[in-house]
Structure 1
């Protein structure tokens, strides 16, 4: 008796010969790993990998940068931020530009670093630029909780925290299926993905190794051929149905849902997080009476189209010319997780 040989993920992917499939890797880390691992070189032409709005720096709107520079220059605030945000262009200048005009911009590696900086510099008003998805939000909440507990008065957040489920709904139809980022769902659990599948949004949670990504792509291809909406957790060693109860609890304690602007996607209802009323003294917009800011992006930049999967970075007329990592026109070229950065680093003409 001859046993049927079980196909490997690579064999399933390479054997695909069907209608055009569009698979969106939402996470910027997935985008870079797929390039770095050479996965785009082995997929058939009928499978297109497109990058989505999974880079927190990339989806942060221009107006947020304008608010940060306003705080730094007009209110003499010390800005604490992750390094990628420093060079993201605002309407008129980046934080790097504000720093050249005398603004104080401090690079930190976590919200707790910003909290500690504020604790050690009580003569400075310190604002942490709180951007990111479900993975990084708990740390921002923890920093606020610690500040309230000790009565720290010179610390606050400028928030642009976002949640992914509403973005998937806004992108419905942009791709046949999504590769969901494993680290996000390690926090929130799988129930949200299961509910998205019931609403016609298909996707697979995956990790970041070659084996994990290839397995996820093979599952997506197989499921799409079977028809119907689906969800599969291909990262069970890290992601559980419940997620991190501790992380979710601190976010629920400190923050609440709000409408939020996404670069390229506009304002998405209940896709952001803001500090609750009882923590409003740590909200920089309230504390410094910031006016509503409408940012204006460079019209030559197509970051918004890239984030929606409407074009590849290499389709942008300034890609690799007027826009490079040293002289970025848009956020997607600045961030280490940005799609434009990945295309520039690994080759803009690579398949997909």
Structure 2
């Protein structure tokens, strides 16, 4: 048999105790749906979608901070996914339609380029992401420094995954670890979690890579011992990217951070160090404290914790659709509700 046939055989023939596997990467969630992998699983294997979408776990308070900046004439540069995420009173999309200057960019460096070309504008990049995209935000500060820009800042909502793995451990028996995050952190981070009884496999994004990772979890789980399998060795090394981590350490420091649906996770956020206060939008623009109020009917937070699935939410597929999203999980291209809406009806 080919490796992919072997993996499928291991998965489909599993007859052991119930096994809960949490994919903490939104890209994994969409790939698993798109590739039809859920249809291969026996009843005793359950895939749970966890908090692996940076836009989804960003709290309402952050959107309110961004809207506050927009209301005071600051030009915002943002990735497109963030545009329609609801704040307490509206969204960035609504603010833009009302005249706010909100630019869609593809990297943080695009925001620096915009700031350099528009020195008369105060420009803030909305920096949302995990370890994969955060180094680019650091490079943006580095480039702004080199160009002596005085009109560029970051509004940070950057997070690291370690605390989330620990916080969600009781919700599953093993993790499908995100391949792109582990490219930066290395396999050493999830490997260290085995000392705390947490198991999982690092997965890539093709059908073969995902099936191999799930099959590895199925086989290893039967040993009864914590384990880590790197099923994405062509990209993920043991040490990851020391250069990217050094860049993070230079510009950012750990802080406590709020995760939508999960709460405050100690040391899980990344904020600019005091040496780079001039690039901190919160300090530079004196953003007042915000008290974000999510829609109480939306169960996005429960979905991110793996406590329910999108159809359990009273808004899903009714008042909340990709065209008119109520919650962040429906807005983001990596969101769980978006994946269920797009694929589970097929």
Q: What is residue 220 of structure 2 aligned with on the other side?
A: 223
Q: What is residue 67 of structure 2 aligned with on the other side?
A: 69
Aligned counterpart for 2:33 among listed residues 11, 32, 35: 35
Correspondence 1:325 to 2:314: no
Aligned counterpart for 1:44 among listed residues 42, 45, 51: 42
CA distance in 2, matches of 1:94, 1:152: 28
Q: What is residue 146 of structure 1 aligned with on the other side?
A: 143
CA distance in 1, matches of 2:199, 2:92: 38
Structure 2: gaps spanning 5 or more residues: none
Deviation of 1:223 after TM superposition, in Å, equals: 1.1
Residue 204 of structure 1: SS of its match in structure 2? Answer: strand
Q: What is residue 79 of structure 1 aligned with on the other side?
A: 76
Q: What is residue 117 of structure 2 aligned with on the other side?
A: 120
The Cα offsets for residues 289-318 of structure 1, whole Å up to 9 and x where unpaired, read as 112212110011100000000001111111
CA distance in 2, matches of 1:201, 1:329: 34
Task: Map 1:169-208 to 2 at 5 A.
Answer: 169-208=166-205
Task: Map 1:229-268 to 2 at 5 A.
Answer: 229-268=226-265
Deviation of 1:6 after TM superposition, in Å, equals: 11
The 1:7/1:129 distance shift into structure 2, 3 A limit, reads: closer
CA distance in 2, matches of 1:76, 1:110: 22
Number of aligned residues: 344
8 Å contact from structure 2 (residues 176, 200) kept in 1: yes
Deviation of 1:100 after TM superposition, in Å, equals: 2.1
8 Å contact from structure 2 (residues 141, 279) kept in 1: yes
Correspondence 1:155 to 2:152: yes
The Cα offsets for residues 101-143 of structure 1, whole Å up to 9 and x where unpaired, read as 2111100000000010000000100000000000000000000
Q: Which moved more, 1:58-67 or 1:292-301?
A: 292-301
Residue 169 of structure 2: SS of its match in structure 1? Answer: coil
CA distance in 1, matches of 2:271, 2:146: 19
Correspondence 1:209 to 2:211: no
Deviation of 1:99 after TM superposition, in Å, equals: 1.2
What's the TM-score, normalizing by structure 2? 0.98
Q: Which moved more, 1:16-25 or 1:126-135?
A: 16-25
RMSD: 1.3
Residue 87 of structure 1: SS of its match in structure 2? Answer: coil
CA distance in 1, matches of 2:274, 2:148: 16
CA distance in 1, matches of 2:5, 2:147: 58
Correspondence 1:302 to 2:285: no
The Cα offsets for residues 272-295 of structure 1, whole Å up to 9 and x where unpaired, read as 100011111000000011122121
Deviation of 1:52 after TM superposition, in Å, equals: 0.5
Q: What is residue 60 of structure 1 aligned with on the other side?
A: 58
Aligned counterpart for 1:17 among listed residues 10, 15, 18: 15
Aligned counterpart for 1:104 among listed residues 76, 101, 123: 101
CA distance in 2, matches of 1:7, 1:228: 26
CA distance in 1, matches of 2:296, 2:4: 51
Deviation of 1:151 after TM superposition, in Å, equals: 1.2
What's the TM-score, normalizing by structure 1? 0.96
Q: What is residue 279 of structure 2 aligned with on the other side?
A: 282
8 Å contact from structure 2 (residues 105, 111) kept in 1: yes
Deviation of 1:7 after TM superposition, in Å, equals: 7.5
Deviation of 1:18 after TM superposition, in Å, equals: 2.1
CA distance in 2, matches of 1:203, 1:101: 46
CA distance in 1, matches of 2:225, 2:5: 23
